[in-house]
Amino acid sequence: MTARTEEELAQTLWWWRRTRFLLSPEHHFYPARFEWRSWCDGLEQTAFEYELVRRVCKTRQLAPFIDLDCWLQSSLQTSLCPARKKFTVIDRVESIWQWQPGEKPTRIDDGNATPYGLSEVDADGWRLNLEVTDNQLLEHLRISKLPTEAEINAQHLGQISAEQFWEILKARKQNAPSKRQFLAWINRQRAAQGITPPRSLHGQRNRAVSWRWIELLDIAKFKIKRRFKDTDSERQTKRRARVMALKLLPKYLKVLDFLENLPNRPKEKLRPKPLMVPED
């Protein structure tokens, strides 16, 4: 591939500039709640690191992340991205634990009990991890105000009008608890279970992924002519990007080899996750 300008790279190589997560909420292909949850909970980070590794890998030809089948995308996220959010769907079967403050949890058979370390079921049927930080839990509150997949499909199919769609979202936001009310609900349950909220930022990523790291590497690779010279900040960013890519390379290649040779890998490749806006 040859490119002469940044605009050409953006239209051909930089797929992250055309994802559905950049759309406005009223767009037909705006991501649903579960898609936002996956994207924020590590899929974007995994895609970013994978694309960074592609830029320095010399031993094999790696396909773009958006072209990987859905099973491989999800498996890479599960294997390589730390679980920073740890949202937990309600478990209605086994794996229920009895707890008392200061005592070791023990397994019980009562399906109505609240599992240790998890909250009561919220309005959307989620139990939240009480041992993560307040900021992580507030992210769940933000995502809960987004439209559901069923609502997006209904609006797309004309079952509800755009005005009705926005009225539904407006009502949901009005009925949602405030940040103060939400955290008060969380802290009451933490106190009941004897859980102290974490203060350390270890293992968390509170900054957004900076795709510009990869873009600067591509600009240098394709020798794109720019009106102004690189700044000191951009040169430092490129160095950091290369160092990070070389550090991640052996880990990603090892996991890719392992996943691709698993005997239970699906024989038929599943289509990639719907990250991109469909072309007209």
pLDDT tens digits, residue range 216-249?
A: 999 999 989 887 888 999 999 999 999 999 999 9
With CA atoms as reference, report the closest residue to 62 among 241, 252, 251: 252
- Asked if 79 and 259 touch (Cβ cutoff 8 Å), the reply is yes
Tokens representing residue 52 in the block: 């960074």
Give the mean model confidence (pLDDT) for residues 3-16: 90
* Residues in contact with 165: Cβ distance below 8 Å, sequence separation at least 6, in sequence order: 26, 147, 151, 154, 155
Give the mean model confidence (pLDDT) for residues 262-279: 87
pLDDT at 206 over 60: no
The confidence score (pLDDT) of residue 197 equals: 80
pLDDT at 48 over 50: yes
The confidence score (pLDDT) of residue 113 equals: 60
208 falls in which pLDDT band (50, 70, 90)? Answer: confident
Helical spans, DSSP H, in 64-114? 70-80
Over the range 51-61, which residues count as b (16 or more CB within 10 Å of their CB) and which as e?
bbbbbbbeeee
Higher-confidence position of 229 and 102: 229
Chain mean position to CA 22: 14
With CA atoms as reference, report the closest residue to 37 among 102, 89, 1, 108: 89
Higher-confidence position of 85 and 252: 252
In the predicted model, what is the mean pLDDT of the chain?
Answer: 82
Give the mean model confidence (pLDDT) for residues 71-81: 89
The confidence score (pLDDT) of residue 149 equals: 81
- Asked if 32 and 149 touch (Cβ cutoff 8 Å), the reply is yes
For the CA atoms of 16, 17, 20, 21, the dihedral, rounded to the nearest 10 degrees, stands at 80
Rounded CA-CA distance 188/230 in Å is 52
